[in-house]
Chain A
Amino acid sequence: AQSVTQLDSQVPVFEEAPVELRCNYSSSVSVYLFWYVQYPNQGLQLLLKYLSGSTLVKGINGFEAEFNKSQTSFHLRKPSVHISDTAEYFCAVSEGSGAQKLVFGQGTRLTINP
C-alpha cells in the first residue's frame, strides 16, 4: 500500500524568501506524484505532476518539484514566495499507470509573512 508523509505541518516564511515543502512517499511499485494547492474554502488545484521522464518538474505559479527515486521524495520549491501563496499544500501519489485513486499526505500550511 502506498503512503505519503509531509514532513512539516506548518511552514512560515517571509515574502520574497525561498521555500521548500517536503514530501516522502512509500510504494512498492512505480508511482505518479502530484502537488495540489488548496486556498481557504476552496477545492484542490493541481500545481504540478510527475509521470515519467525528467525528474525536475515545473508547475504553475513558479513552483517546481524534484523527484528523487532513491530517497523516495518529491519536494516542492519556489525561489521567491508571494503573499498570495498562502495556502494548504498537499502531496499525493498514485500507483502509476492503471491507478484509480490518489493517496494524499496530511498537508503543509504555508504562511507568508510580509
Chain B
Amino acid sequence: DAGVTQSPTHLIKTRGQQVTLRCSPKSGHDTVSWYQQALGQGPQFIFQYYEEEERQRGNFPDRFSGHQFPNYSSELNVNALLLGDSALYLCASSADPTRTYEQYFGPGTRLTVT
C-alpha cells in the first residue's frame, strides 16, 4: 500500500515565477492538507481540501491556491514566487477532514526560489 506521495522531490524557481506541486493521498484517504516548513521551523498549515473544496485555510496570502481532483489527489499552486517561499512543502492525507490524529505525511517537495 503506497503511502502519501509527492512530486517533484526538488524544484528550483526564479522570483516571480509560478509553481505547481502535486500530492497523491494514501489509499482510502479523501482529505489532503498542505503545510509549509521553512528552514529551521516547524510546519505551518496552508490549507485543507475535502470533496474538491478548500475547507480551512491558514494565514497564507492568496498567491497560494490549490485544487483537489475527483481521485482525491491535490495540487498546490504558488504564484509570483518570493524568496521567502523557499521551503519544504508537506502534504498530509487523512480519511476524514477532522481526523487530524490520523494524518499521514508525504516526504515533501523542497522548493528553492532564487
Contacts and interface: CB of A to CB of B under 8 A. Distances in A.
A49 B58 CA distance: 23
Interface stretch (A14-22, A74-82, A90-98): A90-98
A43 interface: yes
Contacts of B100: 32, 94, 99-102
B86 interface: no
Chain A CB within 10 Å, residue with most, of B55, B90, B101, B108: B101
Contact of B98 (A4, A99, A104, A105): A99
Interface residues of B, number: 25
B101 A100 contact: no
Interface in B15-65: 33, 35, 40-45, 48, 55-56, 58
B94 to A, nearest CB: 9
B98 A100 contact: yes
A51 B104 CA distance: 16
Contact residues on A (Cβ < 8 Å of other chain), bracket: 20 to 34
Interface of B: 4, 33, 35, 40-45, 48, 55-56, 58, 90, 92, 97-98, 100-101, 103-108
Given A45-B105, A90-B42, A101-B58, 17 more contacts: A32-B101, A34-B101, A43-B108, A46-B104, A49-B101, A94-B100, A100-B48, A100-B56, A100-B97, A101-B33, A101-B48, A101-B56, A102-B35, A103-B45, A106-B41, A106-B42, A107-B41
